[in-house]
Amino acid sequence: MFCPECESEYKDEILFCEDCRVSLIFELPEDVSLEEIKWVSLDTISGDIYAEMVKESLENAQIPCFIKTDFMISAYGVKGSGIPGTKSKIFVPDDYYDKAMEILDEMMDHD
């Protein structure tokens, strides 16, 4: 597992970089090196559960991605709405952005 931000390598059972507060990525396509990737956010997403769903769909489509959760926002969002107060963003490599948005659109349609 790799952290896309600090580029640390982790054991497989670790899913989260505590230093950067981002989810780790499983593996990268062979022709891509971490240093060369420009990460862009798919910022139409809110709520941890939905972000996890999107991440799973992206991974199924073999698009490298990670979730970054903004814990600052969670402090203001806990007023019993049942909606997770954290705001998550999914990041994908620049090259995969269009494909990722297509997948996202499909998921939105099913809602």
Residue ranges in contact with Zn ion by CB under 5 A: 3, 5-6, 17, 19-20
Please state the closest distance from residue 69 (CB atom) to Zn ion, in A.
Answer: 13
In the complex, least distance from residue 19 CB atom to Zn ion, rounded to whole angstroms: 5
**For residue 23, what are the contacts with CB-CB under 8 A and spacing of at least 6?**
15, 16, 17, 55, 66, 67, 68
Nearer to Zn ion, 24 or 103 (CB): 24
User: Please, which residue, 1 or 107, has the CB nearer to Zn ion?
Assistant: 1
Considering the complex, what minimum distance in angstroms separates the CB of residue 18 from Zn ion? 8
Nearer to Zn ion, 25 or 104 (CB): 25
| Other Cβ atoms within 10 Å of 65 Cβ, number | 24
Rounded Cα gap, residues 26 and 101, in angstroms: 20
- Whole-number CA gyration radius for the chain: 14
